[in-house]
Every structure is written in structure tokens, then in C-alpha cells.
Amino acid sequence: MSKVRAKFVCTGVQDNPDYQSKSISLSPVINGSEENKSFSKYTPSGNINLNISYETEASNYFQDGKEYYVDFDEAE
């Protein structure tokens, strides 16, 4: 297997001005469409938590309630 793809929904964006960053929380999708049902069969639970520096473009990328694909590729 060369890659695993999961689909996550952003469940929270918290501003941390004291640390000049944002905390992002994502959880696997479990409903809302046929595609989401297929993803939830393989990733029914879990979470991803990120802290992103204000200095990066990524700090404004994530929006609460939006869905994102996450690809896992083995590092060599």
C-alpha cells in the first residue's frame, strides 16, 4: 500500500495570541455524504491537533466546520 487517505473535519480553531499561534482540532468525518460514510468505515474515530504559527500561511487555512483530506505517505 503506497498511501492512506482519510477525511477530517475541522472541529475547532482557537487563537493563542500569547504564543503567536492558532490551535487547530480535526476529527474524522462520519456522516453527511456517501463519500463520508465510506471514510468513516475505515477511520471511525481519532483526532489531529495542530499548533500553527501566525508567521505561516497555514495559520489562516483551516476553518471550523470545513472538511479536509489527509494523505499518509510512508517516509523513507
Length of the chain: 76
Q: What is the pLDDT of residue 1?
A: 65
Asked whether 36 and 74 are in contact (CB, 8 A), the reply is no
Distances (CA, A) of 14 to 21, 39, 45, 53: 9, 26, 21, 12
Q: pTM of the full predicted structure?
A: 0.84
Answer whether residue 43 shows pLDDT above 90: no
Picking from 55, 69, 53, 75, the residue whose alpha carbon sits closest to that of residue 6 is 69
Q: What is the pLDDT of residue 31?
A: 81
